[in-house]
């Protein structure tokens, strides 16, 4: 049996608990899925509302004219909450306003924002509305206190079901490490462990939600098998059929047949032809293409065909990691549906992007030393069974401290000796697996930072290649300045 909790939400005139005022309070007392009681009231702040707050909440000065003052509301809220644990989305914000008035000070709290960062690694955004939509109950009304408290209750229960779907051993480890640092979510996972041991919630949406967790990281058809051998370029080069490639993008071509609403773009075909000729003739090419030309397909199609026909690596460098992901997750899957080629593509990033299993094992052995370390460790442990590449860019790590903890867990090469690493010899090192995949890929997608790092370390960061396509090349000078510069200050020098 789950204990009784209270989901709480406030609407306020701003974000500063020392200066701004509460204008609405909403709370839901619940035990599991059962709602026991609700509390809701508007609050007269004694001042006019800012325009942006009226626009956000729909609450007006007229609505608050007859509302009670905060001093009347707080004792009622305190009696409603009692000594129950308070649940909220970014709950410290709400409690900050209340504790200014010495209300709910002793109550323990649990933040669904932080819980979701652990249990919903598939989320792209972690706002209350975005998470509710992801989990199947998009809110009809938002930025009203009671409606948001109700949504928080449903989010909490959905996250609890996700916790129930975790392996028992993982739940035990989260509880063990959490107890070490008095982690606020420890009791949540302990309760999940108890319920899971009793077989509660079996046959619910928990299993479906757990299955969804792994979908976003599925292996594309063009991903490189770990058993694929490194490419060996053909001794005799096989030129591209420029007209044949251009026909793919022509009106009535393969793309038009495969994708309804496909738009023929003459400039895109012209660019494809120029790229194909440059590859055939082994010459440099500079292209200036305005937005809307569709330059990615214009260079990807000839690059892939060249790589397959000649068993050769072609490197594509982008300015940002986001564009890397777009090429790999969107453009290449589209191409795989059209091209009658068995091509292999790989994304390669710097070492700090990949989880080091040896460093993770060390942290699991000694345990975390702070709430922040525990937050990151929990996210990594829940995400780990569902990742194919160990790429930490898919983890939600919004703070500077969390990013620093990730770097300590990453494959940065300080002290890395693959010959002495059992994970490397077992094939479990994410970084070297990515490097191996790149060696066997016809198309390697990198960003400018890694491309320039490869130059700085005498071409040891990337597998050997002879053909390079630099997308967003107008950023290359700035990327070079940033990537190959060294910064210091007086304190460091002293």
Please identify every residue annotated as catalytic: 143
Q: 3-class SS at 38? A: strand
Sign of CA dihedral 395, 399, 402, 403: positive
Beta strands in 19-167 (DSSP E): 22-31, 34-42, 85-88, 109-111
Q: Give dist(CA 265, CA 87) in Å, integer.
A: 53
Q: 3-class SS at 340? A: coil
Tokens linked to 477: 């000078």
- 412 CB contacts (<8 Å, ≥6 apart)? 351, 352, 356
8 Å CB contact between 76 and 52: no
8 Å CB contact between 442 and 344: yes
- Other C-beta atoms closer than 10 Å to the C-beta of 147 total 16
Query: Which phi-psi region, left, alpha or beta, contains residue 270 (left: φ > 0; alpha: ψ -120 to 50)?
Result: alpha
Q: 3-class SS at 28? A: strand
Q: 3-class SS at 104? A: coil
Phi, psi of 102 (to 5 degrees): 60, 40
Q: Give dist(CA 106, CA 71) in Å, integer.
A: 19
- DSSP annotation of 72 reads H
Q: What is the largest CA-CA distance in the chain?
A: 86
Residues 74-88 as b or e (16 or more Cβ within 10 Å = b): beebbebbeebbbbb
Sign of CA dihedral 102, 106, 112, 115: positive
């Amino acid at each position: 049996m789950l204990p009784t909790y209270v989901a709480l939400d406030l609407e306020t005139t701003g974000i500063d608990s020392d200066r701004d005022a509460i204008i609405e309070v909403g709370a839901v007392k619940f035990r599991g899925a059962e709602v026991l009681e609700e509390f809701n009231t508007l609050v007269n702040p004694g001042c006019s509302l800012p325009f942006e707050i009226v626009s956000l909440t729909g609450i007006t000065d007229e609505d608050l004219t007859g509302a009670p003052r905060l001093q009347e509301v707080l004792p009622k809220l305190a009696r409603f909450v009692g000594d129950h644990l308070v649940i909220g989305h970014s709950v410290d914000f709400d409690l900050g306003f209340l504790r200014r008035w010495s209300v709910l000070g002793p109550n323990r709290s649990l933040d669904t924002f932080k819980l979701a960062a652990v249990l919903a690694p598939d989320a792209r955004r972690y706002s209350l509305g975005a998470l509710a939509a992801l989990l199947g109950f998009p809110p009809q009304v938002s930025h009203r206190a009671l409606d948001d408290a109700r949504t928080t209750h449903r989010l909490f229960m959905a996250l609890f079901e996700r916790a129930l779907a975790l392996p028992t051993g993982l739940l035990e480890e989260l509880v063990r490490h959490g107890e070490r640092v008095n982690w606020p979510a420890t009791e949540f996972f302990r309760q999940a462990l108890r319920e899971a041991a009793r077989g509660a919630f079996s046959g619910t949406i928990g299993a479906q939600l757990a299955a969804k967790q792994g979908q976003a990281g599925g292996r594309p058809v063009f991903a490189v098998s770990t058993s694929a051998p490194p490419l060996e370029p053909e001794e005799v080069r096989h030129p591209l059929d420029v007209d044949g490639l251009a026909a793919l993008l022509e009106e009535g071509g393969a793309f038009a047949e495969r994708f309804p609403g496909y738009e023929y773009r003459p400039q895109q075909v012209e660019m494809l032809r120029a790229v194909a000729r440059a590859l055939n003739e082994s010459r440099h090419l500079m292209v200036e293409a305005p937005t809307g030309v569709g330059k990615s397909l214009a260079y990807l199609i000839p690059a892939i065909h060249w790589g397959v026909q000649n068993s050769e690596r072609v490197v594509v460098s982008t300015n940002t990691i986001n564009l890397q992901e777009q090429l790999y997750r969107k453009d290449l899957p589209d191409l795989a549906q059209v091209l009658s080629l068995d091509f292999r593509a790989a994304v390669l990033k710097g070492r700090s992007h990949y989880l080091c299993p040896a460093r993770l094992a060390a942290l699991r052995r000694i345990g975390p030393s702070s709430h922040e370390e525990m937050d990151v460790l929990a996210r990594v442990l829940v995400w780990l069974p569902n990742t194919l590449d160990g790429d930490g860019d898919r983890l939600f790590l919004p703070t500077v401290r969390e990013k620093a903890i990730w770097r300590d867990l990453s494959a940065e090469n300080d002290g890395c000796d693959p010959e002495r690493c059992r994970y490397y010899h077992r094939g479990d090192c994410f970084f070297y697996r990515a490097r191996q995949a790149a060696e066997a890929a016809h198309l390697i997608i990198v960003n400018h930072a890694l491309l320039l790092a490869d130059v700085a370390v005498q071409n040891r960061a990337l597998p050997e290649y002879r053909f390079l396509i630099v997308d967003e090349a107008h950023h290359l000078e700035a990327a070079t300045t940033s990537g190959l510069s060294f910064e210091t200050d007086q304190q460091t020098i002293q």
